[in-house]
Amino acid sequence: MDDELEIATWVSDMKRATAVRHYIVNRVSDNQPLARARALWVWIDLKTSTPIRIPANFIADLADNIV
């Protein structure tokens, strides 16, 4: 199929080391929702595998999409 899709995404529940990212996928022709998803993001130190604060540059980049 050649359906055109619209994907909306935003961030919520931002804490020190975590944030929830939301996604909604709609078919444009009839605005029918096809999928909804939530993902828990956790920032970690790759050397120690422990949670770290969300980097300031990430917060700045996501600022327009935080609700």
Question: Shortest CA distance to 14 belongs to which of 50, 45, 60?
Answer: 60
Question: Shortest CA distance to 4 belongs to which of 32, 43, 23?
Answer: 32
Q: What is the pLDDT of residues 7-55, one digit of tens each?
A: 999 999 999 999 999 999 999 999 999 999 999 999 999 999 999 999 9
The answer on pLDDT for 1 being more than 80 is no
pTM of the model as a whole: 0.78
Q: Provide the domain limits for residue 55.
A: 5-65
